[in-house]
Amino acid sequence: MAGVNNGQQLRVYNSLGRRMEDFAPSADIVGMYSCGPTVYSFQHLGNMRPYVFADTLRRALRWKGIAHRQVVNITDVGHAVADSDTGEDKLELAAARERRSVEEIANFYTKDYLEALTALNVLPADVYPRASEYVPQMIEFAARLEAKGYTYVLPSGLYFDTSKSPGYGTLALLDIEGQREGARVEHVEGRRNKSDFALWRAEEPGVRRVMRWDSPWGWGAPGWHLECSVMSMSLLGDHFDIHTGGIDHRELHHVNEIAQSEAFLADGKPWVRYWLHNEFVLLDSQKIAKSAGHTLRLADLVAAGYHPMAYRLFLLGGHYRSQLDFTHAAVDGTQATLRRLVTRVAALRPLPAVETLADALALVPDDDDVTTDYVAQLDAAISADLATPRILAILQESLRDAALTQAGERVVVAAADALLGLGLDRLEAREVEGRRSVSDLDASEVETIERLVAARTQARKEKNWPRADEIRTELDTLGVQVTDTPTGPSWELR
């Protein structure tokens, strides 16, 4: 748009090609599809990261004045246990376990999921389609693939023949010969290639599914991968710009989505141009997952006295492509950081309404270069593949900067929060109580802090300022205050 300053070029890390790229929208309204939850249980803490990450991306688009439309699917059918092609449906298993209908299960856990999104201040998606409402379209989609010769039928269903998909597995950097020897490969009688996957899962003889549809391949249910291709194209058009999800999807689910979608469209164009994936949250250095027996969820944190925004701040304190180690000490730290932040910011309220860079720049007082510079720094940080740790560091620095006027501070805080979404315009300090002292830390927490402090000292010695900043933010997140003295750094909890 002429006359509007949208700042630096937004750059993102595209998993397709594994490189940083300029984000160049292909449409007036950018289509964005984010793989959503399978609603058979509560979402654990790690499950929520993809949505906070996608929310950050949306805030970046909004900041740049890029209109967009986001779809987040609700998987209420088709997702078999262990992400496999055969076996029981996750929803049906949960219904049997909880003695409720599949609809009740889906509705209950969908509601819980949406409430967690609200608590985390995630901007609502434009549409939350349910897979069960798109089964006729999925059958049509699979029939077209069959007509084009991409499939074959086994007693267990209709399979996509991945050997007929040129470039299969590019996203995952798969080597087509040696691929898929991993644990997730199950044995399917008659499957031609290990990577082939079910488009339609037929009922086993004598086993009647609860959720079942008639199809050219018999009664059964759609394969899990199919729904995302069908719902995204139905709601965003054949091609769209952005697809997001957790890093585990990069290796299988998204690979299969691409294969079937490009076979379906057959127009020689990449189906989706930008694939963005967030890393995991680790609990005790393991992926927080149901299979590991951990089910810690946002409601547990809230019951333990933490504010959901403390968890959001914990997530934003790491770059979305870095693994995060979840510990209670870490969230204690972010809760303390948040409390200090809110206490400091409360004096500046009411904050001006800022959503975009243009909004922020329009509010900068005349000739106030200090404020302009901070806003430019925020823009540079979000433009550099959504560097939220850097944004937090800039925000903290601005609040200590005597050269910034109060009017300028208001603009900087409102601008930073347009990107962070912490609710700094309304959060009250009393909502984020809680305090720890060094004596509450256990040996491993102390060890972690000392390791980080040493790494920061080393980074400073090497004049690696970005790294030192990153560690500083991490220490901030843990609630650790480092003071540099002539004899070396010392630290304390704030």
Chain centroid to CA 92: 27
Measure the CA–CA gap between 493 and 481, rounded to whole angstroms. 6
**Rg of the chain on CA atoms, in Å:** 24
- Tokens 């010769």 locate to 149
Question: What's the min distance (Å) between Cβ of 35 and Zn ion?
Answer: 3
Phi-psi region of 130 (alpha: psi -120 to 50; beta: other; left: phi over 0): beta
**Closer CB to Zn ion, 241 or 470, in the complex:** 241
Stretch that binds Zn ion, among 29-37, 164-172, 212-220, 322-330 (CB under 5 A): 29-37
From residue 182 to residue 221, the character string flagging contacts with Zn ion as x (rule: CB under 5 A) and all else as - is ----------------------------------------
Stretch that binds Zn ion, among 114-122, 182-190, 226-234, 437-445 (CB under 5 A): 226-234
Q: Is 391 near Zn ion (CB under 5 A)?
A: no
Chain centroid to CA 431: 26
**Closer CB to Zn ion, 228 or 288, in the complex:** 228
Question: What's the min distance (Å) between Cβ of 469 and Zn ion?
Answer: 34
**Both tokens assigned to 137:** 């379209």
**Closer CB to Zn ion, 38 or 156, in the complex:** 38
From residue 411 to residue 450, the character string flagging contacts with Zn ion as x (rule: CB under 5 A) and all else as - is ----------------------------------------
**Closer CB to Zn ion, 252 or 478, in the complex:** 252
**Closer CB to Zn ion, 162 or 229, in the complex:** 229
Question: What's the min distance (Å) between Cβ of 307 and Zn ion?
Answer: 30
**Closer CB to Zn ion, 35 or 324, in the complex:** 35
- Tokens 């500046």 locate to 348
324-353: which residues touch Zn ion (CB under 5 A)?
Answer: none
Among residues 35, 422, 432, 475, the one that binds Zn ion under rule CB under 5 A? 35
**Closer CB to Zn ion, 145 or 228, in the complex:** 228
Residues binding Zn ion: what is the number (CB under 5 A)? 2
Q: Is 228 near Zn ion (CB under 5 A)?
A: yes
Stretch that binds Zn ion, among 33-41, 110-118, 292-300, 334-342 (CB under 5 A): 33-41
**Closer CB to Zn ion, 59 or 254, in the complex:** 254
The residues binding Zn ion (CB under 5 A) are 35, 228
